[in-house]
């Protein structure tokens, strides 16, 4: 059954060189590849020779120079980092970069075809079992399926009983974790029927791997992933009850460990990324709150656990769902993919019954075996497990945890202390329904690249199947997680595992396709659907944070320049520096106490973590906001934002470094603004980003004018003002005199030709507001527009000579009011809105 050990294999390769074709490069690799005894390997087949599919890969790969290999690996890593491919472990605050194994998992197409048939069969079987469990209940009534094995799962949802799933099916997407067992066959380790994660990561891994090894990838006839996603998208579309349906990816939010993936899928499939707060039930439908009012949503690709979906019918404590959602599902008003309650089939208690269920339901034998499992709710199985307790891995029958035991993974009786073993035995005797015994299996290994050579590691492969009107289709490839420990069943992204791309390799060339529609009957549209209020709110704030960061950096640069100036120390200059510091203090960039410490002030305003207005804090806020906009930002924009915070994480110790860092960041901010201006679609999303920027710039500029262009301003003050608003050159080209108050006030506040003046910002804001949808139908002008128009008119009519400290202050207040009015008007349901409260219960 098992191949020869690494030792034997070396001997055979060395002993019979002449009888074979010239030693292939794969054989070189094989020489130092220390396979684990008794365990199959993906690289070396059962015959002790490299599998053919690996020969082709290794020949090309090994031809690369070591430096070239390092360069490609580094480029893959860099791409992952820069694209912000991340996941979060449970309990993590920060997102982590994705550890990618640089070698793909290779599977031959013939073997894959066979495997796919098994997955398709299993998906269909599980769909039928779900239909029965929540429907007629024949399987339980006839004894084919014990009621306890179903009822014990927290995913057996009573509110779903008797409900016909909208769209006609429970499972739209199914995944199985599989591994190659000691007999060389693929085994199912567990089923994922709730909301399987990993599809988006598989996509991302493919992107990185195919770029880093483009020539090998092209020469290997690797099956493309795009057709699978296309079929999945079309199937979801077809499940809705109208043409051109609106589809959302329902995510728990940015704190979810797989939020990045939700954003990736939304972007790739062209769906809206929504959270529970973005949705509202009204009548028999679910709607998305958008800047244009409530818009019906037809299908939700659900990445939220069933129990969190509806606080009224499911977990009452959930803050993530939508009150009344289950009511809409019952009325057929929204398709959920997958249907709530589908997760009941993830229970291990069911595994042992699937072979007989398959014969009964589909009339055929299971094509792909699963890990041998004894459910202790049945007396015979319980006795079996208790009699040979040490030979089993004891697992919870329904969830991740083993009831009564702290560890979330399997409990191995052989590793327990004597009293603990007795406790386990007593628990199984008392409530056997809660436990299963599983065979302890060691899974096959696949090569990883370590220290310039290959080494074997166990792995688990997650494969995906999507339900389409023409039957199930399996993603050619999947999400492979490679363990660092030897028990590969413990693999989760949390514990030091890496991911790998999965290549299904065909003999013949495969057609290259991406997600581009092939037919002509696509309705042309220029606006990419609706903009959820929450996204608009985030875009608006992203714009504001970036603009405030820019203004703060300009202040910092001006302050540091004052310190460096050779004529420093004059009373007028000290006074100007003092005014800059006062503004930094008012903006929360520095602490009260640091005002006397001169040179350190600029540094603090730049890097202080505990000051909410420091450049660092503002850029971090921008980054946080950007995370929740992931699916709407280009990779380039994301990269610039990440680079900026990284820049500020470094030590900056003198004024020169402060100035150069501030300049570098200002450049990056300018490039980001350029990206938005040149590359972002001029739909509502861009408008909100730009509105945030404009509103903030107007406020900041008015503040600068008040702080440095006050009635008794010195020439030094006015000089700083011109620098802050970037108008030195314009001013000098227009006026041959030195800094003078009225012309400067005109240029900074009133001049419509100056793109940094307050008036200019107001004019742009007016254009944006006019371009946005009107929410009310009473024909009256809406508040943001009223405020903006009246401000614009006042500034147009104003004369510089009549501006003074009082009018500048009033202007600043009006600008703050305008920004707030925009927020209240367009984002009434945004993150700052009143959340629904639960009614108090009885106690």
CB of 322 or CB of 602, closer to another protein:
322
Query: Smallest gap, in angstroms, from Cβ of residue 305 to another protein?
Result: 13
Provide the Cα torsion 728, 730, 732, 738; round to 10°: -60
**Residue 327 is a binding residue for another protein (CB under 8 A):** yes
Query: Smallest gap, in angstroms, from Cβ of residue 143 to another protein?
Result: 6
Count of chain residues binding another protein (CB under 8 A): 46
**Residue among 91, 143, 363, 567 that touches another protein (CB under 8 A):** 143
Taking the C-alpha atoms of residue 370 and residue 191, their distance in angstroms, rounded to an integer, is 10
**Residue 146 is a binding residue for another protein (CB under 8 A):** yes
**Residue 543 is a binding residue for another protein (CB under 8 A):** no
**Residue among 36, 46, 147, 666 that touches another protein (CB under 8 A):** 147
**Residue among 14, 23, 62, 141 that touches another protein (CB under 8 A):** 141
CB of 399 or CB of 792, closer to another protein:
399
CB of 104 or CB of 396, closer to another protein:
396
**Residue among 11, 23, 161, 670 that touches another protein (CB under 8 A):** 161
Query: Which residues inside 367-396 make contact with another protein, applying CB under 8 A?
Result: 377
Going 410 to 415 to 417 to 421, the CA torsion angle's sign is positive
Taking the C-alpha atoms of residue 257 and residue 252, their distance in angstroms, rounded to an integer, is 10
**Residue 324 is a binding residue for another protein (CB under 8 A):** yes
Query: Smallest gap, in angstroms, from Cβ of residue 592 to another protein?
Result: 33
CB of 148 or CB of 657, closer to another protein:
148
CB of 262 or CB of 829, closer to another protein:
829
C-beta of residue 523 within 8 angstroms of C-beta of residue 71 = no
**Residue 312 is a binding residue for another protein (CB under 8 A):** yes
CB of 155 or CB of 257, closer to another protein:
155
Query: Smallest gap, in angstroms, from Cβ of residue 839 to another protein?
Result: 4
Q: Is 90 exposed, middle or buried (0-12, 13-18, 19+ CB in 10 A)?
A: exposed
Residue at token pair 């057709």: 227
Taking the C-alpha atoms of residue 686 and residue 659, their distance in angstroms, rounded to an integer, is 31
Among 22-30, 134-142, 216-224, 248-256, which window interacts with another protein (CB under 8 A)? Answer: 134-142
| Residues contacting residue 192 through CB under 8 Å, at least 6 positions apart | 174, 175, 176, 177, 346, 462
**Residue 323 is a binding residue for another protein (CB under 8 A):** yes
DSSP string, 220-268: TTBPPSHHHHHHHHHHHHHHSSSSS--EEEE---TTSTTHHHHHHHHHH
C-beta of residue 262 within 8 angstroms of C-beta of residue 270 = no
Among 192-200, 562-570, 628-636, 833-841, which window interacts with another protein (CB under 8 A)? Answer: 833-841
**Residue 520 is a binding residue for another protein (CB under 8 A):** no
Query: Smallest gap, in angstroms, from Cβ of residue 343 to another protein?
Result: 15
**Residue 285 is a binding residue for another protein (CB under 8 A):** no
**Residue among 6, 432, 437, 476 that touches another protein (CB under 8 A):** 432
CB of 198 or CB of 823, closer to another protein:
823
CB of 200 or CB of 823, closer to another protein:
823
Q: What mask, x for binding another protein by CB under 8 A, covers residues 162 to 191?
A: x-----------------------------
User: DSSP strand E in 685-794: where?
Assistant: none
CB of 58 or CB of 349, closer to another protein:
349
Nearest to 115 by CA among 126, 107, 127, 125: 107
The DSSP H or E segment spanning 188 is: strand 186-192
Going 42 to 47 to 48 to 54, the CA torsion angle's sign is negative
**Residue 140 is a binding residue for another protein (CB under 8 A):** yes
CB-based burial, 233-264: b 16+ in 10 Å, e otherwise: bebbeebbeeeebbbbbbbbebebbbbbbbbb
C-beta of residue 457 within 8 angstroms of C-beta of residue 448 = yes
Taking the C-alpha atoms of residue 723 and residue 261, their distance in angstroms, rounded to an integer, is 43
CB of 142 or CB of 592, closer to another protein:
142
CB-based burial, 373-399: b 16+ in 10 Å, e otherwise: bbbbbbeebbebbbeebeebbbbbbbb
**Residue 133 is a binding residue for another protein (CB under 8 A):** yes
Taking the C-alpha atoms of residue 327 and residue 312, their distance in angstroms, rounded to an integer, is 10
**Residue 675 is a binding residue for another protein (CB under 8 A):** no
**Residue 333 is a binding residue for another protein (CB under 8 A):** no
CB of 349 or CB of 505, closer to another protein:
349
Query: Smallest gap, in angstroms, from Cβ of residue 745 to another protein?
Result: 44
CB-based burial, 430-463: b 16+ in 10 Å, e otherwise: eebbbbbbbebbbbbbbbbeeeeebebbbbbbbb
Taking the C-alpha atoms of residue 175 and residue 191, their distance in angstroms, rounded to an integer, is 6
The DSSP H or E segment spanning 395 is: strand 392-396
Among 155-163, 475-483, 573-581, 720-728, which window interacts with another protein (CB under 8 A)? Answer: 155-163
DSSP 44: B
CB of 150 or CB of 648, closer to another protein:
150
The angle at the Cα of 540, spanning 534 to 545, to the nearest 5 degrees, equals: 120
Q: Which two tokens stand for residue 687?
A: 């408008």
CB of 206 or CB of 829, closer to another protein:
829
3-state secondary structure of 523: coil
**Residue 152 is a binding residue for another protein (CB under 8 A):** yes
**Residue 339 is a binding residue for another protein (CB under 8 A):** no
Query: Smallest gap, in angstroms, from Cβ of residue 837 to another protein?
Result: 5
**Residue 245 is a binding residue for another protein (CB under 8 A):** no
Residue at token pair 């009150």: 323
- Judged by the rule CB under 8 A, the positions of this chain that interact with another protein are 133, 137, 140-143, 146-148, 150-152, 156, 158-159, 161-162, 281, 283, 311-313, 315-317, 323-324, 327, 330, 377, 403-404, 430-433, 834-843
């Amino acid at each position: 059954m098992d191949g020869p050990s690494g030792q034997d294999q070396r001997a055979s390769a060395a002993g019979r060189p002449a009888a074979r074709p010239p030693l292939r490069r794969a054989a070189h690799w094989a020489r130092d590849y220390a396979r684990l005894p008794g365990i199959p390997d993906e690289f070396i087949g059962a015959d002790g020779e490299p599998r053919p599919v690996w020969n082709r890969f290794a020949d090309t790969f090994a031809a690369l120079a070591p430096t070239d290999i390092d360069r490609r690996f580094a480029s893959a890593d860099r791409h992952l980092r820069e694209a912000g491919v991340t996941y979060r472990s449970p309990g993590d605050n920060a997102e982590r970069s994705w550890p990618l194994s640089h070698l793909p998992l290779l599977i031959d197409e013939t073997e894959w075809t066979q495997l796919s048939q098994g997955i398709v069969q299993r998906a269909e079987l599980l769909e039928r079992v779900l239909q029965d469990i929540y429907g007629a209940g024949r399987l339980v009534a006839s004894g084919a399926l014990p009621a306890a094995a179903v009822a014990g799962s927290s995913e057996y949802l009573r509110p779903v009983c008797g409900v016909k799933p909208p769209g006609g099916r429970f499972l739209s997407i199914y995944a199985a974790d599989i591994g190659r067992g000691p007999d060389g066959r693929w085994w199912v380790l567990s089923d994922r029927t709730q909301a399987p994660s990993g599809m988006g990561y598989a996509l991302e891994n493919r992107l990185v791997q195919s770029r880093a090894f483009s020539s090998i990838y092209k020469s290997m006839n690797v099956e493309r992933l795009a057709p699978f996603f296309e079929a999945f998208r079309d199937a979801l579309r077809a499940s809705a009850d109208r043409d051109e349906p609106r589809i959302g990816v329902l995510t728990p939010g940015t704190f979810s460990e797989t939020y990045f993936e939700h954003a990736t899928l939304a972007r790739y499939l062209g769906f809206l990324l929504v959270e529970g707060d973005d949705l509202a039930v009204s009548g028999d439908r679910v709607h998305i709150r958008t800047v244009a009012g409530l818009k019906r949503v037809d299908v939700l690709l659900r990445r939220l656990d069933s129990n969190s979906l509806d606080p009224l019918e499911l977990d009452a404590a959930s803050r993530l769902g939508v009150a009344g959602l289950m009511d809409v599902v019952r009325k057929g008003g929204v398709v959920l993919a997958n249907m709530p309650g589908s997760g009941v089939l993830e229970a291990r208690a069911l595994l042992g019954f699937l072979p007989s269920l398959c014969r009964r339901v589909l009339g055929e034998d299971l094509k792909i075996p699963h890990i041998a499992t004894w459910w202790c709710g049945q007396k015979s199985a319980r006795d079996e497990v208790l009699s040979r307790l040490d030979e089993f891995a004891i697992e919870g029958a329904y969830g991740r945890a083993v009831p009564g035991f702290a560890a979330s993974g399997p409990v191995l009786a052989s590793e327990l202390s004597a009293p603990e073993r007795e406790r386990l035995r007593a628990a199984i005797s008392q409530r056997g329904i809660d436990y299963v015994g599983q065979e302890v299996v060691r899974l096959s290994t696949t090569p990883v690249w370590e220290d310039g050579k290959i080494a074997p590691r166990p792995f688990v492969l997650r494969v995906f199947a999507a339900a389409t009107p023409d039957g199930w289709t399996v993603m050619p490839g999947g999400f492979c997680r490679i363990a660092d420990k030897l028990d590969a069943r413990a693999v989760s992204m949390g514990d030091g595992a890496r991911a790998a791309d999965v290549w299904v390799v065909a003999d013949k060339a495969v057609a290259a396709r991406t997600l581009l529609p092939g037919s002509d009957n696509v309705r042309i549209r220029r606006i990419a659907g609706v903009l959820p209020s929450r996204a608009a709110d985030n875009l608006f704030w992203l714009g504001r944070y970036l603009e405030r960061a820019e203004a703060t950096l300009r202040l910092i640069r001006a302050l540091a320049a004052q310190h460096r100036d050779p004529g420093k120390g004059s009373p007028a200059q000290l006074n100007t520096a003092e005014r800059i510091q006062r503004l930094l203090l008012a903006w929360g960039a520095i602490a009260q106490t640091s005002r006397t410490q001169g040179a350190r002030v600029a540094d603090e305003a730049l890097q202080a973590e505990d000051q909410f207005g420091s450049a660092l804090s503002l850029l971090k806020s921008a980054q946080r906001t950007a995370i929740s906009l992931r699916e709407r930002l280009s990779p380039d924009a994301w990269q610039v934002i990440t680079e900026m915070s990284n820049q500020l994480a470094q030590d900056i110790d003198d004024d020169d470094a402060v100035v150069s860092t501030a300049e570098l960041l200002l450049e990056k901010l300018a490039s980001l603004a350029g990206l938005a201006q040149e590359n972002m679609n001029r739909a509502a999303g861009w408008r909100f980003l730009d509105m945030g920027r404009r509103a903030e710039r107007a406020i900041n500029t008015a503040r600068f004018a008040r702080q440095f262009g006050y009635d008794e301003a010195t020439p030094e003050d006015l000089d700083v003002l011109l620098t802050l608003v970037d108008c030195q050159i314009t001013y000098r080209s227009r006026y041959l005199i030195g800094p003078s108050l009225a012309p400067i006030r005109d240029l900074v506040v009133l001049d419509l030709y100056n793109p940094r003046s307050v008036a200019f910002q107001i004019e742009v804001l007016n254009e944006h507001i006019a371009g946005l949808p009107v929410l009310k139908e009473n024909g009256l002008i809406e508040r943001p527009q009223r405020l903006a128009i009246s401000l614009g008119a006042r500034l147009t009519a104003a004369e510089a000579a009549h501006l003074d400290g009082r009018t500048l202050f009033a202007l600043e207040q009006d600008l703050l009011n305008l920004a707030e009015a925009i927020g209240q008007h367009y984002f009434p349901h945004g993150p700052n809105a009143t959340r629904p409260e639960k009614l108090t219960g009885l106690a």
